[in-house]
Structure 1
Amino acid sequence: MESHTKRRRVAGPVGGGDPGPNPVVGFLSWCRQVGLELSPKVTVSRQGTVAGYGMVAREDVQPGELLFAVPRAALLSQHTCSVGSLLEREQGALQSESGWVPLLLALLHELQDPASHWSPYFALWPELGRLEHPMFCPRVHSLELYHQLVAVVMAYSFQEPLEEDDDEKEPNCPLMVPAADILNHLANHNANLEYCTDCLRMVATQPIPKGHEIFNTYGQMANWQLLHMYGFVEPYPDNTDDTADIQMVTVREAALQRTKVEAERLCLFERWDFLCKLEMVGEEGAFVIGWEEVLTEEELTTTLKVLCMPAEEFREFKDQNGWGDDKREEKSLTITSIPKLTASWRQLLRDSVLLTLQTYTTDLKSEQELLNNKEVYAQLSWREQQALQVRYGQKMILHQLLKLTS
Structure 2
Amino acid sequence: MSRRLRAFRRWMRSQGIECSNALEIIDGGYEQGFSVKALCGLAEGDLVATIPKSACLTIQTSAARDIIEDAGLAGLLGLAVALMYEKSLGEASAWAGYLQLLPDRECVPLVWTLDELDSLLYGTELHKAVKEDKNLFYEDWKECILPLIANGPFKLNPNCFGVEQYFAARSLISSRSFEIDDYHGSGMVPLADLFNHKTGDENIHFTSVSSHSGSGSDNDLEDNRDGSCINKLSTEDHHFRENTSSSSLSGKYSLNDNHVGYSPNYEDDPTALEIIIVKAVEAGAEVFNTYGSMGNAALLHRYGFTEPDNPFDIVNIELDTVLEWTKSLYSSRYVRARLSLWRRLRFSGCVGLTSEYFEISSDDMVREALKSLADIRESFYGESIEDDIEVLKRGCLMLERKLYHSLTLRMSETRIIQKLRAYASPASRRTKRTYTRKR
Q: TM-score, normalised by structure 2?
A: 0.64
Please list the CA deviations of residues 274-295 of structure 1 after superposition, one character each: whole Å capped at 9, or x if unmatched: 4355360478222222334xxx
Contact 1:222/1:242 (8 A) holds in 2:
yes
How far apart, CA to CA, are the structure 2 residues paired with 1:251 and 1:287? 9
Q: Distance in 1 between matches of 2:7 and 2:39?
A: 20
Q: 1:131–1:231: 8 Å Cα contact kept in structure 2? A: yes
Partner of 1:404: 423
Q: How does 1:211-360 map to 2 (within 5 A)?
A: 211-234=284-307, 236-237=308-309, 239-259=310-330, 262=331, 265-276=332-343, 278=346, 280-281=348-349, 284-292=355-363, 335=364, 346-360=367-381
State the distance in 2 between where 1:51 and 1:193 align. Answer: 24
Give distance in 2, aligned partners of 1:24 and 1:349: 52
CA deviation digits over 1:218-275, x for unaligned, max 9?
Answer: 22222122222222222x11x322212222222223333333xx4xx42222122343
Percent identical among aligned pairs is 25
Shift of 1:92: 5.3
Contact 1:48 1:56 in 2 (8 A): no
Deviations 1:317-366 (A, max 9, x none): xxxxxxxxxxxxxxxxxx3xx5xxxxxx6321222222211222122333
Which residue of the partner structure matches residue 264 of structure 2?
none
Identify the match of residue 192 of structure 2 among 162, 167, 180. 180
Please tell me the residue identity of whatever aligns with 1:373: R
Deviation at 1:40, TM superposition (A): 2.4
CA distance in 2: counterparts of 1:290 and 1:186, whole angstroms: 20
Aligned match of 1:109 = 85
Corresponding position of 1:46:
27
- Quote the Cα distance in structure 2 between the aligned partners of 1:48 and 1:156: 17
The separation in 1 between residues aligned to 2:421 and 2:47, in whole angstroms, is 45
Distance 2:31 2:407 in 1: 19
- 1:157 maps to a residue whose letter is S
| Richer in strand (by share) | 2
* 8 A Cα contact 2:2 2:27, kept in partner: no
The aligned amino acid for 1:213 is: E
CA RMSD of aligned residues (A): 3.0
Q: Which residue of 1 aligns with 2:95?
A: 118
- One-letter code of the match for 1:405? A
Deviates more, 1:391-400 or 1:265-274: 265-274
1:78/1:102 contact within 8 Å kept: yes
Tell me how far apart the structure 2 counterparts of residues 246 and 371 of structure 1 sit (CA, whole Å). Answer: 26
Cα distance per residue 1:54-107 (max 9 Å; x no partner): 2111112223322322122221112112343x24xx6252235xx123322322
- CA-to-aligned-CA distance 1:285-311 (integer Å, 9 cap, x gap): 22222334xxxxxxxxxxxxxxxxxxx
Whichever residue aligns with residue 304 of structure 2, its letter is G
Question: What secondary structure does 1:346 align onto?
Answer: coil
Q: Distance in 2 between matches of 1:41 and 1:379?
A: 33
Secondary structure of 1:196's aligned partner = strand
Deviation at 1:157, TM superposition (A): 1.0
Q: Distance in 1 between matches of 2:311 and 2:203?
A: 14
| Closer/same/farther in 2, CA of residues 391 and 45 from structure 1, 3 Å limit | same
Equivalence for 2:166: 146
- Tell me the equivalent position of 2:112: 137
Q: What secondary structure sits across from 2:175 in the alignment? A: helix
Distance 1:136 1:104 in 2: 15
Q: Give the structure with higher Rg (CA).
A: 1
- CA separation of 1:161 and 1:35: change in aligned 2, threshold 3 A: closer
Distance in 2 of aligned mates of 1:218 and 1:161:
18
Equivalent of 2:205 in 175, 179, 192: 192
2:407 is the counterpart of 1:385: no
Provide the secondary structure at the position in 1 that maps to 2:92: coil
1:178 offset after TM fit, Å? 0.7
C-alpha separation in 2, matches of 1:42 and 1:29: 16
Pair 1:368-2:346 in alignment: no
User: 1:48–1:212: 8 Å Cα contact kept in structure 2?
Assistant: no
Question: In 1, are the aligned partners of 2:392 and 2:404 still within 8 Å (CA)?
Answer: no
Question: Secondary structure of 1:44's match?
Answer: strand
Contact map agreement 1:66 1:201 (CA 8 A) in 2: yes
Partner SS state of residue 185, structure 1: coil
Q: Which amino acid aligns with 1:151?
A: S
| Residue 215 of structure 1: how far off its partner (Å) | 2.0
Partner of 1:32: 13
SS of residue in 2 equivalent to 1:226 = helix
